[in-house]
Structure 1
C-alpha cells in the first residue's frame, strides 16, 4: 500500500556518493522528510545515459554499493526503482552473446531484429515517417562475429550509432522469463515500487506511431501487473504522451505521473495568473504521482498537446531560456505543432526557472503538495539548486543542468539555507496533517489568487497563494481543534 506522503528522487551517488550514505541520510537528516519513499534512479551496472542503459537488474553497480544497501533502505523507507521494460544495454551479457553467435544465441529472441517488424527485414521509410521517433532512425546495425553477417535491431533511444540501448521483444517467452527474474530479485531485496520506464514504446506495429499502441499495450500491462501483484509490488507506468493517454491509464486503474502539473504551476507563477491551473486541478485524476522537477526536464510536448496555445507556451519557454534553460526537442516533423513548435522538455532546475525567487519557489512546492497524489521532490529541488551551466558546457549534455552531486558536507550546508528550511518545514506539514487523507477541493479563486483545501472530519487545511506577491499562507486545524496559520 503506497503512503500518501512525500517521496525523494535521487541518483544512487548524488547524495554523499553512495547508497550507504543515502541510507544514512534517510535515517538521520532526512528521517522525517520522506516517509513516502525514495525513488533511486538506476543503481544498476550501465553503459550510458546515467544508468538508463542497464546491463542487468540482478546486480548493483559496485561504485554505488550493493543489494545489502537497498535492503537496508527498504527496512525503513519504501524503495522505488526503474525497470526499462523497453530496452537493455548493448553491453549486457545477453546482447554481447547475440553479437558473437547471432541467431544461434540463446538470447537472440530477446531482441527485435527487423524481420520481426518487416517480413523481409528491410525498413520502409513510409512506415518510419509515421512513428514517434526518439532518434533519426529506430534501428541500429551490428556485425555478428561468428559469421560476419549484418543484423539490424530495433533501438528506440540512444545518441550514439549504433545505440547503447537495445530494444527488447516483450512478446518473446525468453524476454518474459527475464523480466520475471528481475521482478523476483526486486522482491527479494525490499523493492516496493517499480517504475515501468519507457513502457509506451514496447509495442512496434506497422501503420502506427509505435508509441502506446492500443489495444496491444494493455495485453502487456495486464501481464506485468499480474506479475507485480503476485509479488506485492506496486507499478508506476512512465508515459510521456498526450494527456488523454495518461487518463486512459488512470481509468485502467494504474498510478500515473502528473506530467501536466509542472508546466501549469510554472505558467501560473511566471504569468501571475492561476486560471488555467485551477481549471486543470478541478478535473485531473487523483491517483497520480506529482512532481515539479526530475532528472530530465519540465514536460511540454506531447504531454500538453491540446491544452496549451503554442504562442503562450513559447513565451514561457523563452522566459526559461533567459534564465539559463536549454531544450529537448521533438525530432519527428509529424509530431511537431503545425506552426513548428517543437519543445519536448524544458531542461533547468525549477528554482532557476522561477528566477531563484524563494517565495515563488515555495509557492510552487506548496501547490504541488496540496494537489492530490503522492508528491515527489527531486534531490536538486530539495536544495533549491541552480542551473549547472558549467557541467552542461563540459559534457555537452543538456540534462546535466540539473544533475549535480553533493558531498555530505555540502548537504549539511544546503540544509541550512533559509529557502531549504522553509521547504523542509512545508514537507513535514504535508507528511503529518491528517486532512491530506481526506477530500480535496479547489476553492473559489480569482485569477491572481489560488485557494486549495483539504478536509477530513474536523481536520482541515487550506492554502492561499497570492500570485501578485508569491506569498503563500497555510491555514489549518491543530490537534486541539483550534485554527492556526503560517506563512510559508
Structure 2
C-alpha cells in the first residue's frame, strides 16, 4: 500500500476517553482533519503486562478496550497501525500455558527457545551471556513443568518479573512462522494497513554475538515477513533501537525506519539554542522514515545516539531534563555503556514538560519535526500538551508512566481550550495540506541560533524560520492563489 504523507496519531486504546469506541468518537468530533496519515493504536490485545506489550494473542481485542469491529470503524476514516511483538508472546498465552503443563510433549513446544537450542547441554555459559545486549539480569527464565515436575529454562529477553511475563518466540521454527502468518491474515481481514515489528532487533539468538540485530540472519527473517505482508497489502515498520547505522541498513533494503535520532537532536537544538547538530544530521539522513518527538517509552539516547553525541555534553543535557522532572531508563550491560560510564538509554518525560512548558519552544520543536522529511507521528500526550504525570509514576513505580496519562473526555475538552494545543492543530493542518511537502526538501543556510527549513514543489513553496533565542517560529508559504503569506506558529 502507499502510505499517506500526512500526520499520524500514536495512542493507547484507552488513553483518549477510555476505550476504542470512545477513541473513534473523539477522533471524529475533534480531530477529523488532523490525523489524515493514520492512527497507531498501541497494543489493544489481551495482555498480561507491560501495558499491552505482553500479548496473549493477536486474534482478539481485549474486551475492556472493545472489539475488532471498533478497529474496523476507526479504519473507515484512518489507516490503522498496530504492533506485532515478533520477539515474544505472553507467559499467560494458551501456547505457553500448554507448554507449562506438558513441557516437551506440548504441541507448542517448538514455539519457544529452550536453552538446549543454544547450548547443546542446555547449560548457559557466562562468557556467552557477557557478550549479549541484556534487557534483564539474565536472558532466560526457569519454570517447573506441571506434569513432570522437571525444570525448563526458556529464553526471555524482556520482563521485570522473574520469571518473565514475555516469552521469546523461536523465529527459526516453522510453527512460529505459521503463527505469525495467522496473525497477519487476521490483521488484513480487520483492515489493518501498517504493522510495526516491535523488538524485531532481538529475534535472532546466536552464541558469540550480542544477540541483537544479528546479520545476515535478521535479513532472512525480514525478507520472509515482508513477502508475507506484501501479499496482504500491509506496510511494515521495523522498530529497532540501535546505532543509527543499523537503521540505515534497513533503509537501504527498502524498509521504512523510525527516526529515533530526531527527538534528542531537536531537544538539544531547543535547549542549547543551536542548530549546528540538527543541520549536520539533516544533511544525509534517509527520507523514508517515521518521525516523532515523544512516545510511550522515552527520548532515545543510547545506543541510538552513539557516535552522534559527546557524552559530557549529553550528561549536561540529561541533567537539565532531570531538573525539569524527567526520569531515566539506563543501560544494564557494562559492555554497552560509554567508556566514561554514560549509561542513559532513554529520557522519560512529557516533551512539553522537558521544554519547560514553554509554548513557543514546544511549537518550534514540533514545527521542526513536521518539516523534516518523513511521516510525522504525534503522541497523544504531546497532542494535548500534557505535562509530566509524576503522580502516576509514584503510584505504579514505573518510570515510563510519566508520559502515559489517560485523558478523560473532560480532560480532552479542557486541553483543547489551551492556546498551545490549538496552535499545534493549526500547524498539523498546514503540514497535512500544503502541496510543497510532496516536493523537494532543503536545509537553508542560517546562523547557528536559527533554523531555516524549506520545501518546494512546482510553483509552490513553504519555509520555516525559527529564532532559537526567542523560540518564535514563522512559516512563509504560497497560498492557493500563488500569493506569499506569513504565519506565526
Return the TM-score normalized by structure 2: 0.99
Counterpart for residue 483 of structure 1: 484
- CA deviation after TM superposition for structure 1 residue 372, in Å: 0.1
Task: Quote the RMSD (CA, aligned, Å).
Answer: 0.5
| 1:251-283 deviations in Å (ceiling 9; x for gaps) | 011000000000000001000011010110111
| 1:107-143 deviations in Å (ceiling 9; x for gaps) | 0000000000111100000000000000000000000
Counterpart for residue 14 of structure 1: 15
Counterpart for residue 261 of structure 1: 262
Aligned counterparts, 1:83-122, within 5 A: 83-122=84-123
* Cα distance in structure 2, aligned partners of 1:101 and 1:130: 33
* Cα distance in structure 2, aligned partners of 1:365 and 1:321: 21
Counterpart for residue 423 of structure 1: 424
Residue 196 (1) aligns with residue 210 (2): no
Counterpart for residue 439 of structure 2: 438
CA contact (8 A) 1:462 1:476 kept: yes
| 1:217-244 deviations in Å (ceiling 9; x for gaps) | 0000000000000000000000000000
Counterpart for residue 287 of structure 1: 288
* Cα distance in structure 1, aligned partners of 2:101 and 2:228: 32
Counterpart for residue 248 of structure 1: 249
CA contact (8 A) 1:282 1:441 kept: no
* Cα distance in structure 2, aligned partners of 1:302 and 1:252: 21
- CA deviation after TM superposition for structure 1 residue 417, in Å: 0.5
Aligned counterparts, 1:172-191, within 5 A: 172-191=173-192
Counterpart for residue 63 of structure 2: 62
Residue 380 (1) aligns with residue 381 (2): yes
Counterpart for residue 72 of structure 2: 71
* Cα distance in structure 2, aligned partners of 1:55 and 1:68: 19
Counterpart for residue 454 of structure 1: 455
| 1:136-161 deviations in Å (ceiling 9; x for gaps) | 00000000000000000000000000
Residue 128 (1) aligns with residue 129 (2): yes
Q: Secondary structure of 1:75's match?
A: helix
- Give the stretch that moved more between structures: 42-51 or 411-420: 411-420
- CA deviation after TM superposition for structure 1 residue 28, in Å: 2.0
- CA deviation after TM superposition for structure 1 residue 446, in Å: 1.3
- CA deviation after TM superposition for structure 1 residue 26, in Å: 1.8
Counterpart for residue 368 of structure 2: 367
Counterpart for residue 38 of structure 2: 37
Q: Secondary structure of 1:208's match?
A: coil
* Cα distance in structure 2, aligned partners of 1:299 and 1:59: 31
Counterpart for residue 235 of structure 1: 236
Hey, which bits of structure 1, 4+ residues long, moved more than 3 A?
A: none
Counterpart for residue 167 of structure 1: 168
Counterpart for residue 344 of structure 1: 345
* Cα distance in structure 1, aligned partners of 2:208 and 2:366: 42
Q: Secondary structure of 2:164's match?
A: coil
* Cα distance in structure 2, aligned partners of 1:458 and 1:412: 39
Counterpart for residue 333 of structure 1: 334
Counterpart for residue 46 of structure 1: 47
Q: Secondary structure of 1:268's match?
A: helix
- Give the stretch that moved more between structures: 378-387 or 24-33: 24-33
- CA deviation after TM superposition for structure 1 residue 413, in Å: 1.2
* Cα distance in structure 2, aligned partners of 1:410 and 1:263: 28
- CA deviation after TM superposition for structure 1 residue 409, in Å: 1.6
Q: Secondary structure of 2:178's match?
A: helix
* Cα distance in structure 1, aligned partners of 2:445 and 2:395: 48
Return the TM-score normalized by structure 1: 1.00
- CA deviation after TM superposition for structure 1 residue 422, in Å: 0.5
Residue 394 (1) aligns with residue 400 (2): no
5+ residue gaps, structure 1, are: none
- CA deviation after TM superposition for structure 1 residue 412, in Å: 1.1
Counterpart for residue 138 of structure 1: 139
* Cα distance in structure 2, aligned partners of 1:230 and 1:205: 30
- CA deviation after TM superposition for structure 1 residue 205, in Å: 0.2
Q: Secondary structure of 1:120's match?
A: coil
- CA deviation after TM superposition for structure 1 residue 410, in Å: 1.3
* Cα distance in structure 2, aligned partners of 1:329 and 1:476: 43
Q: Secondary structure of 2:77's match?
A: coil
* Cα distance in structure 1, aligned partners of 2:446 and 2:198: 37
* Cα distance in structure 1, aligned partners of 2:442 and 2:211: 38
Q: Secondary structure of 1:185's match?
A: helix
Q: Secondary structure of 1:170's match?
A: coil
Residue 26 (1) aligns with residue 37 (2): no
- CA deviation after TM superposition for structure 1 residue 75, in Å: 1.2
Counterpart for residue 215 of structure 1: 216
| 1:173-192 deviations in Å (ceiling 9; x for gaps) | 11000000000000000000
